[in-house]
Amino acid sequence: MPGVIIDGKRSYYSRTGTADKRPAAIFLHGSGGDSTVWRAQLQSLGGLCTVIAPDLPGHGKSEGPGLDSVEAYAKWLGRLVDAWGLERFFLAGHSLGGAVAQGYARINPKRLIGLVLVGTAMSFSFSQDYSELVKKDFLSAVAVSCDGAYGSSASGRLRRWGRQMLLCNGPGILLKDMDVCSRFCSRSWASILDVPALIICGEEDRIVLPAKSRELLRAIVGSKARVIPGAGHMVMQESPVAFNAAVQNFIEQVSGSG
C-alpha cells in the first residue's frame, strides 16, 4: 500500500490500473472506515481507469488525527491530488466521503470530470443515544452500526468484516467523523455545483435514507440517480456488480461527452 507525505503525515492509498489509463477515479470512504470498503471497485474498475482509494487522515493506515471539518478534508484532498500529479479526475465518495466530495466540488469544480455520490446527503443527523453508546459501550455501538449498515440480503461474512473495520479504527475516529458530518450542510450551495453527477443509494439504506439521495438529485442540476435494490448503506460492497456497472456507464458516458 503506497503512501505520500501530506502536511507532515503519511497518507496511504490503494491504486489499480496503469498510469496511462485515463481518466483517474478517486474513491473516498465514510465514517469510521477506510479504503478497504472499495475492494470490489479496485478489483473491477482498474481495467477502465486508474482507480485510487485513499485512507483519510487518521483512518486505516494513514497517519495523524482525523480532521475537524469537511472543508479541511477537501483541502487535504487537494494537496493529495497535487502530490499525485492529477489534473482532472472523477471523484466518488460514500457517506462522509460523499460530503467531502461535495466540498471538493464546491472549491475545485474545474478539476473534476464527474462526481459519484454514494449513500450520502446534503446534511446528516445522529441520535444522541447512539453517540452516547459509542462513548460508553463501543462494542455494542459497533453491533448497532453493522445491523443498520447492511441490507437484508447481506452475508454474515460481510457484516463481520464491517464490524472488524470499525473496531480497528476505534471509537475516537468514529465520534470525530460523526461530529464532522453533523456540522456539514450543503443545502445552500449544492445547486451551484457545476459537475456531472451520479447519485447512488441502496434501496434499503437505513443510515442515509434514499429520500436524502432524492434531495441531492433535485438539488444538483442535471444529475442522475441509480437506486440498487436489496442493498443497504454499504451498497458498493453488497451489490458490487450493479454498483460497478453504474459507475462504469457513468464514466464512459461523461468521458465520451467530454
Note whether 95 and 101 are within 8 A (CB): no
Give a three-class secondary structure readout of 198-224. EEEEECCCCCCCHHHHHHHHHHCCCCE
* 57, 180 Cβ separation under 8 angstroms: no
pLDDT tens for the chain, residues 1 to 258: 789 999 999 999 999 986 666 789 999 999 999 999 999 999 999 888 999 999 999 999 999 899 999 999 999 999 999 999 999 999 999 999 999 999 999 999 999 999 999 999 999 999 999 999 999 999 999 999 999 999 998 999 999 999 999 999 999 999 999 999 999 999 999 999 999 999 999 999 999 999 999 999 999 999 999 999 999 999 999 999 999 999 999 999 998 744
- Three-state DSSP class for residue 4: strand
Degrees to nearest 5, angle at CA 98 with 196 and 54: 105
pTM metric for this prediction: 0.96
**Domains in the chain, start-ordered, CATH in brackets?**
3-257 (3.40.50.1820)
